[in-house]
Amino acid sequence: MSTGVIGRPDEQLEVILPEMKKMKTENSEMQEADLRVTIAGVELANPVMTASGTFGSGMEYSEFVDLNRLGAVVTKGVADVPWEGNATPRVAEVYGGMLNAIGLQNPGIDTFLKRDLPFLKKFDTKVIVNVCGHTEEEYLRVVEKLRDQPVDMLEINISCPNVKEGGIAFGLVPRGVENITKKIKAAAAQPVIMKLSPNVTDIAEIARAAEAGGADALSLINTLTGMKIDVQRRTFVLANKTGGMSGPAIHPVAVRMVWQCAQAVSIPLIGMGGIRSTEDALEFMLAGASAVAVGTANFIQPDITAEIVDGMRSYVQEQGLANIREIIGTVH
């Protein structure tokens, strides 16, 4: 540490020691900032979690970010059997974000329980398992296998196509949202978070339906449906033609939807969509979210989640807050 002090060692110490003491005090204050939040009775050390599908099941990112520093790790979607996903190409960069049509490729619940969950339990962070399915029965088989597992919460991806209803996503019709929420709640041992699709006419109506079905919390938003065309080849860039758009461009839409749902329901919300900075995350909390999930930014900066946690500590100190919870839903 350079102080610019020239002179006897004791004269240097007179300058250096107070500076070291000041730095130690500032670091201590940063550590003491209260970032704890509670979702459905589960206390998280801080409000920052990962968005499903962007962080694997934690193992893939553990070399880049200390999982102990996160409020929760949300796994990629887990189905009752392995899913191969869609044909390639299935990822495309677009202005302000990316499109993906991965198709929820995953190794299935049995592999998850044998390989991924034991790895996650090595860390002092909450584990939230994202559950996907094509039918109610598929969802329920996964939920039932997780009943006696050391999992803190379930996040249910209702943007999946309901094959028994002509491929229409479970989350697009209020009655369908309420019905599947009720069935999953009846089968689950852990709190249930319903993940909402933004591709609806009235997001608040969908949120109320999930709450009526017994949801313990809501996470939103999932990706917006988009498309990219290669003008030189005159064909679709994605083999699936359409894909889910994520990234900074959708952030204002996501903040608006979180705010709308905060006015419509009384259960906790987890905000996500285009978070790439502490400020983006704080917007969600001011709009009414109790926690946030970081997604596409993980691909650009693998340790972005830890950076946002540090940013929240600084914010609590700078704003003179007793804790981060003071800001939740304060913008009406």
DSSP classification of residue 12: H
CA distance 13 to 32: 28
What single DSSP character describes residue 294? E
d(CA 106, CA 112): 9
Tell me what percent of the chain is helix, strand and coil, each rounded to the nearest 5. Answer: 40, 20, 40
Extract the runs of DSSP E, i.e. beta strands, from 75-116: 91-94, 97-100
> Active-site residue among 37, 78, 98, 160?
160
For 261, the token pair is 């749902």
SS3 295: coil
In angstroms, the Cα distances linking 149 to 62, 83, 125, 186, 213 are: 22, 22, 15, 17, 24
Q: What is the DSSP string of 28-65?
A: HHHHH----EEETTEEESSSEEEPTTSSTTSGGGTTTS
Q: Which residues contact 63 (CB under 8 A, 6 or more apart)?
A: none
Backbone angles phi, psi at 61, to 5 degrees: -105, -5
Task: Look up 261 and say whether it is catalytic.
Answer: no
Task: For residue 179, give both structure tokens.
Answer: 């019905």
Compute how many other C-beta atoms are within 10 angstroms of the C-beta atom of residue 299.
15
In the chain, what's the furthest Cα-to-Cα distance? 83
Catalytic residues, which ones? Answer: 160
